[in-house]
Chain A
Amino acid sequence: MGRRRLIALGFAVGSLLGIGLYARRGREGRERIDLYFADGSLVSLHSDSPEAAPLLLHAHDALRAAAA
């Protein structure tokens, strides 16, 4: 009986951790920067692009300051 409970508890904790990690990864995966130029062109940089990383850092800094 005790073992069953332990297994169920482990399963529940594992599921919760999995959901949390999946959600976090999903949030990070959605990060992107869209650059709009005067001639109407658009450059979209996703978080996995090396050019996006420094820009996202500035964006995070600004959002953190705005929320403070």
Chain B
Amino acid sequence: MTEPSAALAELTEISSQIESAVLFGADGKVVAATIPDEPAAQVAASAKALLEQAAQIGDGELTQIEASTGDGSLFVVKDGTTMIAASTSAEPTAGLVFYDLKECLRAVAKPPAKPAAAKPRPKPKPKPRTTRPKSNGTS
């Protein structure tokens, strides 16, 4: 599992369209953010409210939202109990932003890779026997 803050740092590095991002849990608690704590908590609260209200509109399970406004766009993606909200400038490439956000969520949720099992130490080769010629005492 990638550290949430490291995953967000990677996200903003690879996606030039994303201006800020906030990772938060189902309870609205901020896990990590690229902005200071107070605005991050506000973003998480608004994004959570947006998800909850939007979920009442359709019949199926809501997984992602794009809100396009004149000031910019807000993306919210849900993956299990972890959610991410990201702001971009106006008219972003939505497909790319969604892809990057999902990758970030996957990186955070992925279980840590198991360390490779330590190879058993090879047995030390037996030293070749050296047989000394017997001295016959005639020297």
Summarize B's interface: helix, strand, loop or mixed. Answer: mixed
Of B19, B70, B87, B94, the residue contacting A27 (CB under 8 A) is B70
Encode contact with A along B48-88: 1 for CB under 8 Å, 0 otherwise: 01100110011111111111111110100000000001010
Q: Does A43 contact B (CB under 8 A)?
A: yes
The residue in chain B whose Cβ has the minimal distance to the Cβ of A36 is: B64
Q: Do the beta carbons of A38 and B60 come within 8 Å of each other?
A: yes
Q: Do the beta carbons of A32 and B50 come within 8 Å of each other?
A: no
Q: Do the beta carbons of B69 and A35 come within 8 Å of each other?
A: no
Task: Count residues on chain A whose CB falls below 8 Å from chain B CBs.
Answer: 31
The residue in chain A whose Cβ has the minimal distance to the Cβ of B59 is: A37
Contacts from A to B (Cβ < 8 Å)? 24, 27-28, 30-39, 41, 43, 45, 51, 54-56, 58-68
Contacts from B to A (Cβ < 8 Å)? 19-20, 22, 35, 39-40, 42-43, 46-47, 49-50, 53-54, 57-72, 74, 85, 87, 94, 98
Q: Do the beta carbons of B65 and A33 come within 8 Å of each other?
A: yes
Q: Do the beta carbons of B67 and A36 come within 8 Å of each other?
A: no
Q: Do the beta carbons of A56 and B69 come within 8 Å of each other?
A: yes
Q: What residues of A have a CB within 8 angstroms of the CB of B68 in the complex?
A: 30-34
| Alpha-carbon gap, A62 to B43, bound state (A) | 4
| Alpha-carbon gap, A61 to B22, bound state (A) | 14
The residue in chain A whose Cβ has the minimal distance to the Cβ of B44 is: A62
Q: Do the beta carbons of A55 and B67 come within 8 Å of each other?
A: yes
Q: What residues of A have a CB within 8 angstroms of the CB of B39 in the complex?
A: 65-66, 68
CB distance from A64 to the nearest CB of B (A): 8
Nearest 4 A-B pairs (CB), nearest first? Answer: A27-B70, A59-B67, A65-B42, A62-B46
Q: What residues of B have a CB within 8 angstroms of the CB of A30 in the complex?
A: 68, 70
